[in-house]
Amino acid sequence: MELSESQQHPQPRESQQLRKIEPEEVHSLEIVRKILPWREQLATGFGTAHGNAHLQLIDVLIVLLAAFYNPMVRSQRLVEALSSQQWMRRQTGIERIPRSTLSDALARFDPEQIKPLVKELTARVAALDQRDPDLACLTRQVIAADGTYLNLAGEVLWALQCRRGGLKDTVQARARLDLQLDVGSFSLVDGVVSGKSASCEAASFIGQIKPGVIYLADRGFVHFGFLKAVLAKGSNFVVRLKKDVLFAADMPRELVGKDKELSVISDETGHLPGPTQARDKRHKAKRGRNGTKRGGEPPTQRLRRVTIYDPKNNCQVTLLTDLLDVPAWMIAVLYRKRWLIELFLRFLKCTAAFDHMISKNQKGMTLQLYVAMIATLLLHLATGQRVSKYSLFWLGSIASGHATWEEMQAGLARIQREKMLEKARLSRKKLMAQGLQKSVSE
């Protein structure tokens, strides 16, 4: 029996047919286009030295945002290739940006002009209901502060120069990112790129301190100048106390049930006499390059020392705070939220490939930092969830044509639901263990 032509060469079913994904369907550009209303406000041209190009800050911002969502675009040459595609021009209205013009732009544009856009997006993200239920009674914004170093080429003169591996002839240049992360929305609210002109990490944050917030920081921020500056702004702090900084406790506080549940060991109030009060030479105040004490005298107001047990590292963690009217367990919960900035730094360096800078200029690096801030804020607004490795995975799948926007939304919702169920299961398991322990003791 002879087969018909359709039987000899069966056509694939419609659901199995592979069709070409048009550039207009790359939905990550839907997110990028959300900043197009800012074109007039950011349309600040400059006298570029490269031909007749009339490059504007908004053009650089758009193409760098598009590059941020594409993990392959991590160099000036690839940014130029991205901007030269016709579909990119139709979607965004930008012209091709030559590599030499982009390099000049990164050195010339003032990234501070973008701050109003960051502020507006941050205010919109703050409306998302992502508050930790344990911290729901706190009306202040909670910010984790930390810094990290990025390695640069040795010839970057403005950077911090250091010897590499103890070799005298090998010089490594580094830049430091001083970041402030809103732990509720997992998004940056401020950031500064600094080099050799900057002082120590804590001191460099003094000019960035915001009023009416709660700062979470590690031991490197036990700097008296920083602590006094936070208090002067009407803000609060929860920092990990260094072992060599004295605390004069004069009044213990009673621990309640939840304090013990969250591994609080002790809760005391007192004041900081300061390292200059100690007899041991190890407690002497360190001296800076100009011979003055780093941080000056300690704050004089009444403070609080809360000691908690860290089961993961099997050690005690001592916290210093000026929050006197909240329970000790809440101080422990607050400090554990500080870990979010470590996760964000890992996200920047690994997932977002931020450790590879496309500019050696301080302004250009700052602009790239603001692009990362805006990109994460836009992702918040687009998905209704904070940025995670899952949302970036889905965006990459959309950009490559292997997923749709609807599939991304459904996938993120499924992951969120599974995480909530797992959290509830662990909570029930913990309550059962506590009940069993109580019955045995009785």
Q: Which pLDDT value is given to residue 192?
A: 87
Buried b (16+ CB within 10 A) or exposed e, 328-366: bbbbbbbbbbbebbeebbebbeebbebeebbbbbbbbbb
Structural domain count of the chain: 2
Query: How many residues in total does the chain contain?
Result: 442
Is 86 inside a domain boundary?
Answer: yes
Strands 213-217 and 141-152: parallel
Strands (E), 121-186: 141-152, 160-164, 167-182
Which residues touch 437 (CB under 8 Å, ≥6 apart)?
A: none
Strands (E), 283-346: 303-310, 315-321
Is 193 inside a domain boundary?
Answer: no
Q: Transcribe 218-244 into DSSP letters.
A: -GGG--HHHHHHHHHTT-EEEEEPPTT
Same domain, 327 and 403: no
Is 15 inside a domain boundary?
Answer: no
Determine the Cα angle at 234 with ends 228 and 235, to 5°: 80
Determine the Cα angle at 332 with ends 327 and 335, to 5°: 130
Q: Which of 270, 269, 274 is nearest to 296 (CA)?
A: 274
What number of CA atoms fall less than 13 Å from residue 175's CA on the CB side? 26
Is 137 inside a domain boundary?
Answer: no
Is 364 inside a domain boundary?
Answer: yes
Secondary structure of residue 292 in the 3-state scheme: coil
| pLDDT per residue rounded down to tens, the chain (442 residues) | 444 444 444 444 443 444 443 454 445 677 777 777 777 766 654 444 444 457 788 888 888 888 887 767 778 888 888 888 887 777 777 888 888 888 888 888 888 888 888 888 888 876 555 556 666 567 688 999 998 888 776 667 777 777 655 555 666 788 888 899 888 877 888 888 888 777 778 888 888 899 999 999 999 899 999 999 999 999 999 999 988 888 999 999 988 888 888 889 999 999 998 654 444 444 444 443 333 345 688 999 999 999 999 888 888 999 999 999 999 999 999 999 898 898 888 877 776 667 677 888 888 888 888 888 888 888 777 777 777 767 767 766 665 557 777 788 888 888 888 888 888 888 788 777 767 766 666 6
Q: Which pLDDT value is given to residue 440?
A: 65
CA distance 252 to 368: 48
Same domain, 329 and 362: no
Q: Which pLDDT value is given to residue 410?
A: 86
Residue range(s) defining the domain that contains residue 313? 219-337
Is 42 inside a domain boundary?
Answer: yes
How distant is the alpha carbon of residue 430 from its chain centre? 31
Is 13 inside a domain boundary?
Answer: no
CA distance 173 to 365: 14
Sign of the alpha-carbon dihedral angle for 67, 71, 76, 80: negative
Same domain, 252 and 359: no
Same domain, 325 and 364: no
Same domain, 230 and 302: yes
Same domain, 330 and 369: no
Strands 213-217 and 236-240: parallel
Q: What is the pLDDT of residues 105-156, one digit of tens each?
A: 888 888 888 888 888 888 887 655 555 666 656 768 899 999 888 877 666 7
Q: Which residues pair with 236 in a beta bridge?
A: 214
Last residue in a domain, options 337, 370, 392: 337
Same domain, 394 and 306: no
Same domain, 359 and 399: yes
Last residue in a domain, options 287, 310, 337: 337
Same domain, 252 and 291: yes
Same domain, 108 and 31: yes
Q: Which of 337, 315, 334 is nearest to 326 (CA)?
A: 334
Q: Which pLDDT value is given to residue 9?
A: 46
Determine the Cα angle at 388 with ends 387 and 390, to 5°: 125
Last residue in a domain, options 302, 337, 372: 337
Q: Which residues pair with 162 in a beta bridge?
A: 172
Same domain, 36 and 99: yes
Is 389 inside a domain boundary?
Answer: yes
CA distance 76 to 64: 10
Q: Which pLDDT value is given to residue 199?
A: 72
Helix locations, 56-97, DSSP H: 57-68, 76-83, 86-92
Tokens of 259: 């304090």
